[in-house]
Amino acid sequence: MHLFEELKHHLPFSILSVCFGLILMGILNFITFCDFSDMKLRSALLFHVFHPTHLLFSAIATTAMFWQHERRIIKAVVVGFVGSVFICGASDIIIPYISGFLLGTDMHLHICILEHPLIVLPFVILGILAGFFAPGTLEKQEGVIFSHSLHVFISSMASILYLTGYGLIDWIDRIGAVLVYTVLAVILPCCTSDIVFPLLFVEKMEKS
């Protein structure tokens, strides 16, 4: 039930963020007037900006959520690393890859943490470190809304850029399906990595 409530809370953020991301991609297509091969290259390059940034945001949220309930440094680092790299990797890479395949596209599987570890790891490490200092700000509602909205938007852009950068060239002709698949790619892993996953490993929950 808690997961269902979180999904309902995240859904409007996810839909709006994905729509905004699609608008930005459309504008990029229009102002550059580049052919499909150039657009594919640009999307792949931009993916390597948004994907590591997404992992940083996720590492902060996952580590902070765990650290707020249990103060074990090594365990918090492991939870923050796994929650960001693996679960958000599914959001940015695996789900878009499967989505492109379902749309009949010959997708290329690009695992960033394996092929470009020096791009990804600094973001993850800094995110985990920041997560140790973040729990004190979780009670500030304005900061939570802003950071969460930015997190969802970055996740949306990473998923869209992977889909368009590693296979789906004619994405505008299938924009409805892209919208649905990207919302799924954002909402399920984000709820899992930020909230559900870290709490699974907390031994003693705080009592109010």
Helices (H), the chain: 2-32, 36-69, 73-82, 88-89, 95-102, 112-115, 117-131, 141-165, 175-191, 197-200
User: Looking up tokens 């368009």, which residue turns up?
Assistant: 164
User: Which pLDDT belongs to residue 113?
Assistant: 93
Distances (CA, A) of 21 to 12, 92, 152, 179: 14, 14, 10, 10
- Asked if the model's pLDDT at residue 100 lies above 90, the reply is yes
pTM of structure: 0.85
3-class DSSP state for residue 116?
A: coil
User: Which pLDDT belongs to residue 26?
Assistant: 83
Instruction: Judge contact between 182 and 156, C-beta under 8 A.
Output: yes
Q: How confident is the model at residue 37 (pLDDT cuts 50, 70, 90)?
A: low
- Asked if the model's pLDDT at residue 206 lies above 50, the reply is no
* More confident of the two residues 123 and 16: 123
Q: How confident is the model at residue 194 (pLDDT cuts 50, 70, 90)?
A: low
For 180, the token pair is: 């649905």
- Encode pLDDT of 142-181 as tens digits: 445 556 678 888 988 999 999 999 988 888 889 999 999 9
